[in-house]
Amino acid sequence: LKMSKWGARVKKVEQLAQSFQLNPLTTPYKPRLWPCQPSSVWKLFLRQSVAISFTQSCKEDVHVFALEKEKVPVGQRIYLVTSYTELWYYYRTYTQSLMHCYEVIPDGAVCKLYLDLEFHKPSNKGSDGKTMVSLLIQYICDKLMELYGTECSAKNVLNLDSSTEEKFSRHLIFCLQHATFKDNIHVGRFIHAVLQPILNKAKSRSCLDNEMDSVTENKMKRRKQEERNLSFLRVKNKDGQDCLFVDLGVYTKNRNFRLYKSSKAGKNAAFTVAEDNQFIVKPEKGISAEESIFLASLVCNVRYIGICETFSSALLTGTLSGFLSSPHQEVDTFVLTVVRKDGIQGSIRRWNYFAAEQLLVYDIAKYRWCENVGRFHKSNNIMIVVDLKEEVWYQKCHDPDCRNFRSSSYPLPQEICISYILKLDEEDQAYLMDDAGNIELSQKPKRAGPQSTVCPEEEKSDVWGDEWDDQDYLESLDNFEQKSEEISDQLLLECMADFDSH
């Protein structure tokens, strides 16, 4: 009789499990874009690292964004993975849930040059923010031409404004085609290098006291002139202390950079196009001018076209040699096995990571074997391109005769594929967005109300039992096992019968 009761209970559990599979607790968010758009991805995570890992395993062109919610602890964010197109589509609709949105600039991702500018207005009453922005744009453009031979003007710089009565605040994004930085760490090094005269003002003055040859003296005079030209960058914070107009703290790994039309949680100042913006929008077919501005504002919206002209801080120091570890060290190790064979010790000269396509492009040194010619090139080096989405790798070449050549694609080892490594737990999928744009927990908390129940009405009072009772039962069982060598089957059956009778 007791065994038949147990069998009936097992059957009921199986029926309940089937019911949960057919009727999930929360209806999954299903975007409804036009049929011409790619497959939709809209996934929310608690942890940024897992969200980034998910993008690397996803076959679609997706990116990570950080969302702030009202009435939650300061700094707590939810991480959304979706495409640029889909985010823009719902960004205009769900102004409440998506109004505090940030672009996550992944570690190692090729990106545009960007700056965050701000100063406290009451402490800098004589400062003209618009003039300061104009002077800084011109100075950066001059440096891009001087160091890289790249033409740039205010028409290439998207100028966004979120100023208030108390604070002057701007974002500048340099939208230069075929001219990007290796990652935002290199952007930071570039900005530090070009602002060195104002940063090292005291040091440069002390150097003038030493004996100098004519060349050194000319350099110091030039630096002094640059220091005077950059004096407008010195401002005061709200405590009256000296600080810089340019925020140098925004060039860290996985930086969250606030989006166009977004404000900080608890604030109403969203980024809009500045009155003095000169950036020229060139909308593509089927894309509005406003969406074009949104896409231009995205720091990591950089397309991979062959080998992009990538700025590097190495150009400032005069060296491009040495092994550099990419964000995917296990892929680096694999690439080294490809270029180290038959006694040849190839190496990775440098790497570039293109976030939009999830491509790692390796410039290879000391290994020149080309599949196109079936032999080693005499002087020109090769590239190994790793497609993290498709989980394959192939070889390209710097040789002019092989410029358009791409080798066959070869699968990556399973143990380094993101789809094999990535394992999501329940916590990482704790949030969902419904069709009304509300972001809620995907699983109701303990002792949830009856509205979360999906079981048939007659089963509500007799399914799983009380969760807290279950926890107490397990703790008691654990305590008993620590004191006893074995629990008899008879005692277990009696306990279950007693449980069923309540």
Mean pLDDT by 10 residues, the chain (502 residues): 70 77 55 52 88 84 90 79 91 83 92 96 94 96 90 96 96 88 90 87 44 56 71 91 93 93 90 95 86 95 58 43 64 92 87 80 90 88 90 89 89 80 54 75 46 35 41 55 55 61 56
Q: Which residues pair with 397 in a beta bridge?
A: 382
Q: Is there a single domain that holds both residue 238 and residue 168?
A: yes
Q: Give domain status of residue 329, yes or no.
A: yes
- Quote the pLDDT of residue 76: 80
Q: Is there a single domain that holds both residue 428 and residue 352?
A: no
Q: Give domain status of residue 213, yes or no.
A: no
Q: Is there a single domain that holds both residue 144 and residue 270?
A: yes
- Quote the pLDDT of residue 174: 96
Task: Write the Ramachandran bin of 361: left for phi over 0, alpha for psi from -120 to 50, otherwise beta.
Answer: beta
**Helices in 328-446 by DSSP H: which ranges?**
329-339, 418-421
State how far the Cα of 178 lies from the Cα of 157, in Å rounded to an integer: 15
Which domain range does residue 502 map to?
471-502
- Quote the pLDDT of residue 436: 72
Q: How many CB atoms lie within 10 A of CB 288?
A: 11
Nearest to 50 by CA among 387, 300, 359, 425: 425
Q: Is there a single domain that holds both residue 135 and residue 246?
A: yes
Q: Is there a single domain that holds both residue 189 and residue 281?
A: yes
Total-model pTM: 0.64
- Quote the pLDDT of residue 274: 97
- Quote the pLDDT of residue 104: 96
Burial class (CB in 10 A: 0-12, 13-18, 19+), 22: exposed
**Are 113 and 142 spatial neighbours (Cβ–Cβ below 8 Å)?**
no
Q: Is there a single domain that holds both residue 166 and residue 248?
A: yes
Q: Is there a single domain that holds both residue 328 and residue 428?
A: no
Q: Is there a single domain that holds both residue 282 and residue 358?
A: no
Q: Give domain status of residue 272, yes or no.
A: yes
Positive or negative torsion for Cα 320, 325, 328, 329: positive
Q: Is there a single domain that holds both residue 488 and residue 408?
A: no
Structural domain count of the chain: 4
DSSP state of 387: E
Task: State both tokens at 66.
Answer: 């950080």
- Quote the pLDDT of residue 322: 34
State how far the Cα of 377 lies from the Cα of 367, in Å rounded to an integer: 9
pLDDT tens track for 243-252: 999 999 999 9
Q: Which residues of 368-398 are buried (b: 16+ CB within 10 A; e: fewer)?
A: bbbbbeeeebeeebbbbbbebbebebbbbbb
- Quote the pLDDT of residue 482: 55
- Quote the pLDDT of residue 452: 32
- Quote the pLDDT of residue 100: 92
- Quote the pLDDT of residue 160: 98
Q: Give domain status of residue 221, yes or no.
A: no
